[in-house]
Amino acid sequence: MFEKGGKFEKLHYLFEANETFLFSPASTTKNKGVQIKDAIDLKRMMMTVVIAMIPCLIFGIFNVGYQHNIATGGATTFLSLDNFLFGARWVLPIVLASYVAGGLIEVVFAIIRKHPINEGFLVTGMLIPLIVPPTIPLWQVALATVFGVMVGKEIFGGTGMNVLNVAMTARAFLYFAYPSQISGAVWTQLADATPVDGYTGATALSIAYDTSTAGSGSVVSALGDFFSLNNMFMGFIPGSIGETSTLMALLGALILVLTGVGSWKIIVSVFGGAFIMGAIFNAVGLNGFMDLPAHYHLVMGGLAFGAVFMATDPVSAAQTETGKWIYGLLIGMFTVLIRVVNPAYPEGIMLAVLFMNVFAPLIDYYVVQANKKRRLARATV
pLDDT digits (tens, 9 = 90+) for 159-178: 788 899 999 999 999 999 98
Say what the pLDDT of residue 249 is: 97
Say what the pLDDT of residue 197 is: 62
Tell me: do 164 and 305 sit in the same domain. no
For residue 91, pLDDT over 90 is answered with: yes
Q: Per the domain annotation, does 364 fall within a domain?
A: yes
Q: Per the domain annotation, does 116 fall within a domain?
A: yes
DSSP reduced 3-state for 94: helix
**What is the C-alpha separation between 217 and 214, in angstroms, rounded?**
8
Q: Which residue has the higher pLDDT, 137 or 200?
A: 137
Q: For residue 13, what are the CA distances in angstroms to 26, 245, 352?
A: 16, 39, 36
What tens digit of pLDDT does each residue of 184-241 get? 445 545 655 666 666 666 788 888 888 877 766 788 888 888 899 999 999 999 889 9
Tell me: do 162 and 231 sit in the same domain. no
Q: CB of 201 within 8 A of CB of 227?
A: no
Q: Per the domain annotation, does 37 fall within a domain?
A: no
Say what the pLDDT of residue 184 is: 47
Q: Per the domain annotation, does 78 fall within a domain?
A: yes
Using left for φ > 0, alpha for ψ between -120 and 50, and beta otherwise, residue 215 falls in: left
What tens digit of pLDDT does each residue of 336-359 get? 999 888 866 778 899 999 999 999
Opening angle at CA 223, ends 83 and 237, nearest 5: 15
For residue 250, pLDDT over 80 is answered with: yes
Q: Per the domain annotation, does 201 fall within a domain?
A: no
**What is the C-alpha separation between 60 and 51, in angstroms, rounded?**
15
Q: CB of 185 within 8 A of CB of 135?
A: no
Tell me: do 226 and 360 sit in the same domain. yes
Total domains, the chain: 2
Say what the pLDDT of residue 183 is: 66
Question: What is the average pLDDT value for the chain, to the nearest integer?
Answer: 87
DSSP collapsed to 3 states, the chain: CCCCCCCCHHHHHHHHHHHHHHCCCCCCCCCCCCCCCCCCCHHHHHHHHHHHHHHHHHHHHHHHHHHHHHHHCCCCCCCCHHHHHHHHHHHHHHHHHHHHHHHHHHHHHHHHHCCCCCCCHHHHHHHHHHCCCCCCCHHHHHHHHHHHHHHHCHHHCCCCCCCCCHHHHHHHHHHHHCHHHHCCCCCCCHHHCCCCCCCCCCCHHHHHHHHHHHCCCCHHHHHCCCCCHHHHHHCCCCCCCCCCCHHHHHHHHHHHHHCCCCCHHHHHHHHHHHHHHHHHHHHHCCCHHHHCCHHHHHCCCCHHHHHHHHCCCCCCCCCCHHHHHHHHHHHHHHHHHHHHHCCCCCCCHHHHHHHHHHHHHHHHHHHHHHHHHHHHHHCCC
**What is the C-alpha separation between 47 and 308, in angstroms, rounded?**
15
Tell me: do 81 and 163 sit in the same domain. yes
Say what the pLDDT of residue 74 is: 77
- Give the domain range for residue 3: 1-20+42-192
Of 46-50, 97-101, 203-207, which has the strongest mean pLDDT? 97-101
Of 36, 41, 4, nearest to 118 by C-alpha is: 41
From the CB of residue 143, how many other CB atoms can be counted at a distance below 10 Å? Answer: 18
**What is the C-alpha separation between 264 and 256, in angstroms, rounded?**
8
Q: Per the domain annotation, does 210 fall within a domain?
A: no
Tell me: do 121 and 180 sit in the same domain. yes
Of all residues in the chain, the percent with pLDDT exceeding 70 is 88
For residue 129, pLDDT over 70 is answered with: yes
Opening angle at CA 54, ends 315 and 88, nearest 5: 125
**What is the C-alpha separation between 348 and 332, in angstroms, rounded?**
9
Tell me: do 92 and 228 sit in the same domain. no
Tell me: do 226 and 364 sit in the same domain. yes
Q: Per the domain annotation, does 380 fall within a domain?
A: no
Tell me: do 176 and 309 sit in the same domain. no
**What is the C-alpha separation between 71 and 380, in angstroms, rounded?**
72
Tell me: do 127 and 257 sit in the same domain. no
Q: Which residue has the higher pLDDT, 114 or 282?
A: 282
Q: Per the domain annotation, does 314 fall within a domain?
A: yes
Please give the backbone phi and psi of residue 41, each rounded to the nearest 5 degrees, phi first.
Answer: -140, 180
Tell me: do 64 and 178 sit in the same domain. yes
Tell me: do 140 and 277 sit in the same domain. no
Tell me: do 159 and 251 sit in the same domain. no
Domain end (from 174, 192, 210):
192
- Could you tell me the pTM of the whole model? 0.89
Q: For residue 19, what are the CA distances in angstroms to 42, 46, 109, 203?
A: 15, 17, 18, 45
Q: Which residue has the higher pLDDT, 29 or 239?
A: 239
Q: Which residue has the higher pLDDT, 219 or 55?
A: 55
- Residue 33 — pLDDT band, cuts 50, 70, 90? low
What tens digit of pLDDT does each residue of 2-18 get? 888 888 887 887 787 77
